[in-house]
Each structure stands twice: as C-alpha cells, then as structure tokens.
C-alpha cells in the first residue's frame, strides 16, 4: 500500500490525469517502493470518494509480489 500523502496514496490525494486513457500507462510506469521494479496491473475499480469518482488501480510488483493501490482522478481541461 502507498504511504500518504504521496500522490495516488488515497482518494484524497489522487494522481491527476487528463483523459482516462492516461491511467493505465501511468500506473504501469510506477515502481515498487520496496525493491524498485515496475508494477503490473492486477485489477481496477471505481469508487466515489468525497463526492468525486476515483479510479483505483490494484498493482503488484513483478519481483517481490508486494501489492498496492494507486488512486487516479480524471481532470477535465479548462475550456478557453
């Protein structure tokens, strides 16, 4: 599990992305805090936290098996 207040650690501190298509590539780029290798996506869910939808990606280290969650928020671009 991530350690707060690191971005993505909780629904209150999500990683903000533009379009939803950025979530999976960003999640795959995260590294295991214990041993360093990349994490693989083990599952995904969506929840409403503090009145906003959060996409929660379950991650697993390919080396040590450590599991964690990363919370994402889709941020709509401001119209000019």
Condensed to tens digits (0 to 9), the pLDDT of residues 5-35 reads 577 878 778 999 988 899 999 999 999 988 9
Any idea what the CATH number is for the domain that residue 36 is in?
2.20.25
Q: How far apart are the first and last CA of the chain?
A: 38
> Domains in the chain: how many in total?
1
Asked if residue 62 belongs to a domain, the reply is yes
CB atoms within 10 A of CB 61: 20
SS3 content of the chain, % helix, strand, coil (to 5): 10, 45, 40
Does the pLDDT of residue 56 top 90, yes or no?
yes
HSE-up of residue 56 (Cα within 13 Å, Cβ side)? 18
Percent of the chain with pLDDT over 70: 89
Asked if residue 3 belongs to a domain, the reply is no
pLDDT for 2: 45
Percent of the chain with pLDDT over 90: 46
Query: What are 44's strand-pairing partners?
Result: 57
């Amino acid at each position: 599990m991530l350690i707060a207040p690191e971005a993505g650690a909780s629904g209150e501190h999500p990683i903000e992305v533009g379009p939803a298509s950025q979530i999976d590539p960003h999640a795959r780029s995260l590294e295991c805090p214990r041993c360093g290798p990349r994490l693989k996506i083990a599952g995904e869910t969506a929840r409403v936290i503090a009145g906003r939808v959060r996409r929660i990606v379950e991650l697993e280290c390919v080396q040590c098996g450590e599991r964690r969650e990363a919370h994402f928020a889709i941020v709509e671009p401001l119209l000019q």
